[in-house]
Amino acid sequence: MVTRFLFQSGHFNANNGRIKHNAFMPNSEGSTSIFIIRNQNEIKIWAMGKIAGRGRNLPLLARADLSIAAIECTQLFVDIDNTPPNHANIVNWPDSKDERIAKAQELARVANLQLPP
């Protein structure tokens, strides 16, 4: 399991429990930051997210949990770099904006929204 920490309210809808595709869109370097959460308890996962947000001075609002298999089903890959610990990137995004949006929509569809305790 991996998670995408969400720092922008426009990336999810807490009322209907949905994640928006923009939450998964790649950055200008062509990757989407995620964290591996397998074998981590909820307290550690939320602490990891708060640390990730400090570098950008953003509050952690939610997270989007999904499996690596779900990512790979879209022909995207998980590149584990462990910088910081447990960090990885979703890579292999297509060049076409429409194709990137379609893949991000699929990730958003299969991800589970988690709100902080």
For residue range 12-68, what is the model confidence (pLDDT) as tens digits? 999 999 999 999 999 999 999 999 999 999 999 999 999 888 777 789 999 999 999
pLDDT value of residue 58:
84
Could you tell me how far CA 97 lies from the centroid of its own chain?
A: 19
Sign of the torsion angle spanned by Cα atoms 101, 104, 110, 114:
negative
pLDDT value of residue 99:
97
pLDDT value of residue 53:
83
Report yes or no: 111 and 19 within 8 Å, Cβ to Cβ: yes
Domain layout of the chain by residue ranges: 2-114
SS3 category, 17: coil
Among candidates 12, 13, 66, which has minimal Cα distance to 37? Answer: 66
Mean pLDDT of 68-88: 95
Could you tell me how far CA 113 lies from the centroid of its own chain?
A: 10
Q: Across all residues in the chain, what is the average pLDDT?
A: 95
Mean pLDDT of 1-15: 96
pLDDT value of residue 81:
94
**pLDDT over 80 (residue 4):** yes
* Percentage with pLDDT > 90 across the chain: 87
Listed in sequence order, the residues at least 6 apart from 67 whose beta carbon sits closer than 8 Å to its beta carbon are 1, 2
The more confidently predicted of residues 54 and 94 is 94
